[in-house]
Amino acid sequence: MQEYAITTSITKKITAQYDIPFTFSEIYYLTLLLIGKTTLANYNSLTSGELEIYIGKEIIQLVDRILQKVKTMYFIDMRKDGFIVKFTIHVHNLINRANITHLAKNPLSEEIKSSYPLLYDISVFIASEIASEKNIMINDDEIAYIALHIGSFIEYENGHHEKVTCLIICPQYYDIHKCITQKIEQKFGSELTIIMVETEIDGNWKKRKPDLIVTTTYITSETTDYIVYVRPFLTTSDLHNISKEISNIKKAKKQQTMSRYIEQFFHSDLFFKNKAIQNKFQTIEFLAHQLTKQGFTTSDFVEDVIERECMSSTAFSNGVAVPHSMTMKAIRTGVAILVEKKAVPWDKKSVQIIVLIAVNEKDSPIFGDLFESFINVLSEEVNIKLLAQTESHLAFQEMLLQLMDGSD
């Protein structure tokens, strides 16, 4: 074994240099650590096809099956050479660590879980698939490392945010319109798409419906409320104002989307107060039963939710838990909410607000936005207190939208 030969060589050099002897058991233990920690030095130059020489076909096929399921469930396609190579090596090392019961520690585990709930949830799903296939245990720390890989991929792809559409209005004088356009593209190219540059005030731009208009001349528009007046030569202040309006537009779009989701998926007959339930599994069973009784899910939904909960706790802070299934096979999408005056023990935490989400496959593209918006609001203790004080479904819904409006 290559790792044993490397360990033997290292320990011999340490013994020769420092006169520190190593027993066979110590060399064996160091070899196991090396097996679980090593990464190919030249992995950046490998393709997924070449990877089989080093990793073997079995792990490559496992990762391919899992990534296909992730694409189906979460609409994220990560099957690209650069990611596959790194992630397959990580999975290979993870399995080795699990087989020797020496799983890695991750000091950022809780922060990743609370700050990036969707990434963490995808990682729980991936870990569940690996654990089931290889009959191993995978802890929260290792799940968080998987989340780091996925987060890096999504950040690199930069496909998560919808761009703001922009119309530029500027007279055609000494190519000032070109200078303005170039500077805006350089500064905001990742956030904004310029759909038109109009050099005539009375041109046909009024037929367009951009999110944002940037203009050097005073205008009126019935198509957007977001107009930024700039100088012919853009200043720092002009760029700041454009940036501010881009943020305002994104926030308004998100608020409109969340308002539509809440109106569509929140139902008054799935809102409950003070049921005095004693523990998390009783809570899950109660809410799952309500969803099934109202025709949102089948009777086996509760088993899927409990299976997900056993993989990793869905209590995202001291005050809220968002249990859900790892499969999106609800009859129709719905959200059941329980607000308790007396906190319910939930693993090492206590929660007052429990939100059980059931998602139908056709609504799966919106799961990420809805899920993350929930967590962003419910991660603040003051928000939990405000929501816990509401006495009705309508009051809870109105407060939630208000808090979402101020959460960015």
Angle between helices 236-265 and 393-405 in degrees, nearest 10:
160
Indicate whether 314 belongs to any domain: yes
Residue of 42, 30, 23 lying closest to 3 (CA atoms) = 30
Claim to verify: residue 48 and residue 136 sit in the same structural domain: yes
Asked which of 182, 216, 234 is the last residue of a domain, the reply is 234
pLDDT in tens, 346-402: 988 899 999 999 999 888 877 777 777 777 787 788 888 899 999 999 999 999 988
Claim to verify: residue 265 and residue 348 sit in the same structural domain: yes
pTM: 0.67
Claim to verify: residue 373 and residue 300 sit in the same structural domain: yes
Claim to verify: residue 145 and residue 223 sit in the same structural domain: no
Per DSSP, what are the bridge partners of residue 229?
215
CATH no. for residue 142? Answer: 1.10.1790.10
Claim to verify: residue 266 and residue 394 sit in the same structural domain: yes
- How many residues are recorded in the chain? 408
Claim to verify: residue 192 and residue 107 sit in the same structural domain: no
DSSP state for residue 161 in the 8-state scheme: S
Best-predicted range by mean pLDDT (90-99, 166-175, 176-185, 375-384): 176-185
Phi, psi torsion values for 221, nearest 5 degrees: -145, 135
Number of domains in the chain: 3
pLDDT exceeds cutoff 60 at 42 = no
For 247, other C-beta atoms within 10 Å of its C-beta total 13
Indicate whether 246 belongs to any domain: no
Which are the contacts of 75, defined by CB distance < 8 A and separation ≥ 6?
364, 365
Question: Using CA atoms, how far apart are residues 106 and 92, in angstroms rounded to an integer?
Answer: 18
Indicate whether 6 belongs to any domain: no
CATH no. for residue 349? Answer: 3.40.930.10
Indicate whether 346 belongs to any domain: yes
What letter represents residue 318's amino acid?
A: N
Indicate whether 289 belongs to any domain: yes
Asked which of 234, 250, 276 is the last residue of a domain, the reply is 234
Asked which of 136, 157, 178 is the last residue of a domain, the reply is 157
Claim to verify: residue 397 and residue 302 sit in the same structural domain: yes
Strands (E), 140-183: 164-169
Claim to verify: residue 389 and residue 291 sit in the same structural domain: yes
Claim to verify: residue 95 and residue 186 sit in the same structural domain: no
Question: Using CA atoms, how far apart are residues 142 and 97, in angstroms rounded to an integer?
Answer: 10
Angle at Cα 213 formed by Cα 211 and Cα 219, nearest 5°? 130
Question: Using CA atoms, how far apart are residues 243 and 184, in angstroms rounded to an integer?
Answer: 10
Averaged pLDDT of the chain: 85
pLDDT in tens, 225-246: 899 999 999 999 999 999 999 9
Indicate whether 242 belongs to any domain: no
Domain span including residue 384: 260-405
Question: Using CA atoms, how far apart are residues 45 and 290, in angstroms rounded to an integer?
Answer: 53
Question: Using CA atoms, how far apart are residues 235 and 171, in angstroms rounded to an integer?
Answer: 18
Residue of 403, 402, 370 lying closest to 258 (CA atoms) = 370
**b/e 292-309 (16+ beta carbons within 10 angstroms → b):** bebebbeeebbebbbebb
Claim to verify: residue 266 and residue 317 sit in the same structural domain: yes
pLDDT exceeds cutoff 90 at 92 = no
Claim to verify: residue 183 and residue 120 sit in the same structural domain: no
Claim to verify: residue 103 and residue 177 sit in the same structural domain: no
pLDDT exceeds cutoff 60 at 111 = yes
pLDDT band at 289 (very low <50, low <70, confident <90, very high): very high
